[in-house]
């Protein structure tokens, strides 16, 4: 029936596909679908504005690539196991922003898809999803920009329009942009799963274009088993079949030998969720979808009450697996930290001392930072305050800072997602090179920053022995002011990052 995935550029002909599903299409579900026989898996729709703010982070502990938002939430997580078969789906209404996001992820995915079929308000209110169907010019602009701007295949997923003629005309315009395939949900944007799927519309689309058409929308009407996927494909004349709810209820529907019990599938899902540190509320949501009408049973209520992956494992009698897996991950983390500490020796590059270090906010107590420690130390030693010079590069808007301390320069070789984080990383390099404490959690108390005041009262008068121009003592400086200190930002590659603080 369905051909195996070919090596190289992803082909969309003769494939079974896991559809993009909000809150469902995260890494554990995608990997599970691949295990059971799916050829291609789509991630959940991710909004371009949120993704454009993310930083690409290699997670050596989990062996994943994470795209992390400024609030440290992982928006998209992927791994090598799915790299050649995962399609990144975005919600967008802007060609340039879509291209920026596509460039951010293209080296970690097999293809990029634009959502043009979601009828939900969170997507359509920004002119995305099915709202794009009424704006063919914008559709052409987005898809053409992506096709010409990235090296990976570009696809889109649409819903059918109110008439067959309008639907065919739209897909012909889409084909001309150079997309590799079109996924067609055989319902109009105001129709829901209770409405029958329009196989005749999908068939007309398949006959009107030369690129692969992926049929979607048959979960309620036609697809209850692996064999039904071929029947749906034949009824629509499509090249491939994409499943959403049928796969959400039991992803082993992709299994040629027949579906497994939901209980077995749920346990396999949990194994991936724990192994890849999946958000527990996402884990619980997906498991509840598999339970379906049993979600109100005593077992379902126990699952619903669970708040962590550990508690979810307890419900399923998988505590031993949880403890073993988390212990393995902790051991790997400890080994990486040890190796990292050994390799992080200062190096002199030109006239700058460098180290590959990154500022991790969670490693420090609230309201304590390396910059604060460095400033306090400079005052204690009666040295000039540290001065920060920061660069911003154009391709990913990353920041790198150099701190000048006692006429010497210090810099991290790693680029940070924000100007402040870059300055903190530079301060860490300086402190570690000088063998000074930096304020990390668990670090032996140094006595440097120990009298900090966190209120809005007026500062005490300056000491008579201090010069009139000197800044207030760090214990009397409001947090917002001390975070900035003294810094300068350069213009790099013709783009100005931020002005002086």
In a domain, 464, yes or no: no
Torsion of CA 241, 65, 154, 204, to 10 degrees: 20
Residues 390-403 as b/e (b if ≥16 CB within 10 A, e otherwise) read: bbbeeeebbbbbbb
Helix/strand/coil (H/E/C) assignment for every residue in 371-412: HHHHHHHHHHCCCCCCEEEEEECCCCCCEEEEEEECCEEEEE
Residues 70 and 183 in one domain: yes
In a domain, 440, yes or no: yes
Residues 173 and 27 in one domain: yes
pLDDT above 80 for 105: yes
pLDDT above 60 for 412: yes
Task: Give the integer Cα–Cα distance in Å for 178 and 136.
Answer: 15
The whole-number average pLDDT for the span 358-367 is 87
Task: Give the integer Cα–Cα distance in Å for 164 and 182.
Answer: 16
20-37 tens-digit pLDDT: 999 999 999 999 999 999
**CATH number for the domain harbouring residue 436:** 3.30.160.20
pLDDT at 455: 37
**CATH number for the domain harbouring residue 200:** 3.20.20.70
Residues 420 and 387 in one domain: yes
Residues 64 and 91 in one domain: yes
Residues 160 and 34 in one domain: yes
Report the alpha-carbon angle 126-128-132, nearest 5.
125
Residues 206 and 70 in one domain: yes
pLDDT at 445: 60
The whole-number average pLDDT for the span 372-397 is 89
pLDDT above 60 for 493: no
The structure tokens listed for 63 are: 């062996």
pLDDT above 80 for 340: no
- Of the three residues 260, 288, 321, the one that is the final residue of a domain is 260
In a domain, 365, yes or no: yes
Report helix, strand or coil for 41: strand
Lowest-confidence region among 209-213, 358-362, 368-372: 358-362
Task: Give the integer Cα–Cα distance in Å for 206 and 208.
Answer: 6
Task: Give the integer Cα–Cα distance in Å for 439 and 372.
Answer: 9
Residues 55 and 184 in one domain: yes
pLDDT above 80 for 15: yes
Domain boundaries, position 449 = 347-454+470-496
Q: Is the separation of the CB atoms in 77 and 118 below 8 Å?
A: no
| Beta strands 111-116; 154-159: pairing state | parallel
In a domain, 119, yes or no: yes
Instruction: Give 284-289's long-range contacts (Cβ < 8 A, gap of 24+).
Output: 284/312, 285/23, 285/24, 286/23, 286/24, 286/26, 286/28, 286/29, 286/248, 287/312, 289/24, 289/248, 289/249
The whole-number average pLDDT for the span 263-290 is 97
Residues 322 and 380 in one domain: no
422-479 tens-digit pLDDT: 999 999 999 999 999 998 887 766 566 654 433 333 333 333 433 333 333 333 333 3
In a domain, 3, yes or no: no
In a domain, 460, yes or no: no
Q: Is the separation of the CB atoms in 20 and 45 below 8 Å?
A: yes
pLDDT at 333: 84
127-177 tens-digit pLDDT: 999 999 999 999 999 999 999 999 999 999 999 999 999 999 999 999 999
pLDDT higher for 202 or 498? 202
Helix and strand counts by DSSP (H, E) for the chain = 17, 20
Residues 204 and 61 in one domain: yes
pLDDT confidence tier of residue 385, bands split at 50, 70 and 90: very high
pLDDT at 224: 94
Instruction: Give 221-227's long-range contacts (Cβ < 8 A, gap of 24+).
Output: 221/196, 221/197, 222/197, 223/253, 225/253, 225/258, 225/259, 226/37, 226/253, 226/254, 226/255, 226/256, 226/258, 226/259
Of 312, 320, 319, nearest in space to 291 by CA: 312
Report how far apart the first and last C-alpha atoms of the chain are (Å, whole number): 63
pLDDT at 289: 97
The whole-number average pLDDT for the span 374-379 is 94
- Of the three residues 343, 361, 396, the one that is the final residue of a domain is 343
What DSSP designation does 282 have?
H
The whole-number average pLDDT for the span 219-236 is 94
Task: Give the integer Cα–Cα distance in Å for 61 and 442.
Answer: 21
pLDDT at 452: 44
pLDDT above 90 for 74: yes
Residues 86 and 200 in one domain: yes
10: exposed, middle or buried (Cβ count in 10 Å: 0-12, 13-18, 19+): buried
pLDDT above 80 for 276: yes
The structure tokens listed for 402 are: 């150099």
The whole-number average pLDDT for the span 324-348 is 78
Residues 272 and 163 in one domain: no
The whole-number average pLDDT for the span 184-194 is 91
pLDDT above 90 for 6: no
pLDDT at 339: 60
Mean pLDDT across the chain: 86
pLDDT confidence tier of residue 220, bands split at 50, 70 and 90: confident
pTM of the complete model: 0.70
In a domain, 322, yes or no: yes
Q: Is the separation of the CB atoms in 76 and 69 below 8 Å?
A: no
- Of the three residues 227, 260, 293, the one that is the final residue of a domain is 260
Of 400, 375, 372, 401, nearest in space to 386 by CA: 375
Active site residues: 118
Lowest-confidence region among 109-123, 196-210, 484-498: 484-498
In a domain, 291, yes or no: yes
Of 2, 91, 77, 84, nearest in space to 38 by CA: 2
The whole-number average pLDDT for the span 108-136 is 90
Percent of the chain with pLDDT over 70: 85
Domain count, the chain: 3
Percent of the chain with pLDDT over 90: 70
Residues 322 and 378 in one domain: no
pLDDT above 70 for 481: no
């Amino acid at each position: 029936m369905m051909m195996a995935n070919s090596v190289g550029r992803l082909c969309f002909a003769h494939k079974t596909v896991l559809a993009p599903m909000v809150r469902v299409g995260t890494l554990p579900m995608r990997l599970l679908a691949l295990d059971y026989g799916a050829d291609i898996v789509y991630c959940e729709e991710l909004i371009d504005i949120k993704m454009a703010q993310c930083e690409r982070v290699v997670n050596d502990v989990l062996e994943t690539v994470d795209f992390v938002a400024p609030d440290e939430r992982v928006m998209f997580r992927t791994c090598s196991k799915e790299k050649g078969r995962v399609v990144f789906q975005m919600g967008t209404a802007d060609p340039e922003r879509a291209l920026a996001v596509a460039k951010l992820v293209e080296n970690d995915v097999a293809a990029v898809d634009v959502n043009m079929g979601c009828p939900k308000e969170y997507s359509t209110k920004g002119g995305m999803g099915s709202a794009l169907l009424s704006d063919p010019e914008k559709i052409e602009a987005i898809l053409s920009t992506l096709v010409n701007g990235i090296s990976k295949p570009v696809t889109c997923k649409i819903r059918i329009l109110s008439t067959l003629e309008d639907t065919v005309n739209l897909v012909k315009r889409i084909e001309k942009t150079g997309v590799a395939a079109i996924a067609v949900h055989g319902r109009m944007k105001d129709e829901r799963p209770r409405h029958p799927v329009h196989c005749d519309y999908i068939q007309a689309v398949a006959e009107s274009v030369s690129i692969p058409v992926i049929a979607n929308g048959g979960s309620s009407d036609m697809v209850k088993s692996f064999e039904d996927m071929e029947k749906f494909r034949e009824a629509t004349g499509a090249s491939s079949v994409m499943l959403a709810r049928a796969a959400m209820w039991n992803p082993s529907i992709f299994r040629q030998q027949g579906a497994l019990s939901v209980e077995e599938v749920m346990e396999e899902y949990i194994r991936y969720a724990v192994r890849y540190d999946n958000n527990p509320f996402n884990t619980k949501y997906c498991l509840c979808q598999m339970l379906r009408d049993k979600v109100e049973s005593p077992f379902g209520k126990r699952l619903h009450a669970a708040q962590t992956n550990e508690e979810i494992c307890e419900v399923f009698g998988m505590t031993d697996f949880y403890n073993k897996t988390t212990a393995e991950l902790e051991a790997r983390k400890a080994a990486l930290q040890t190796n990292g500490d050994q390799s992080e020796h200062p190096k002199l590059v030109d006239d700058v001392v460098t180290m590959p270090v990154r500022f991790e906010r969670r490693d420090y107590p609230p309201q304590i930072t390396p910059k604060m420690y460095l400033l306090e130390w400079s005052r204690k030693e009666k040295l000039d305050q540290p001065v920060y010079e920061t660069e911003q590069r154009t391709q990913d808007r990353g920041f790198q800072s150099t701190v000048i301390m006692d006429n010497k320069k210090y810099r991290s070789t790693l680029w940070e997602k924000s100007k402040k984080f870059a300055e903190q990383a530079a301060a860490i390099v300086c402190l570690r090179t000088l063998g000074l404490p930096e304020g990390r959690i668990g670090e032996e108390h140094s006595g440097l920053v120990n009298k900090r005041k966190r209120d809005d009262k007026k500062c005490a008068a300056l000491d008579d022995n201090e010069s009139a121009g000197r800044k207030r003592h760090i214990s009397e400086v409001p947090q917002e002011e001390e975070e900035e200190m003294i810094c300068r930002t350069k213009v790099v590659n013709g783009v100005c990052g931020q002005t002086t603080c």
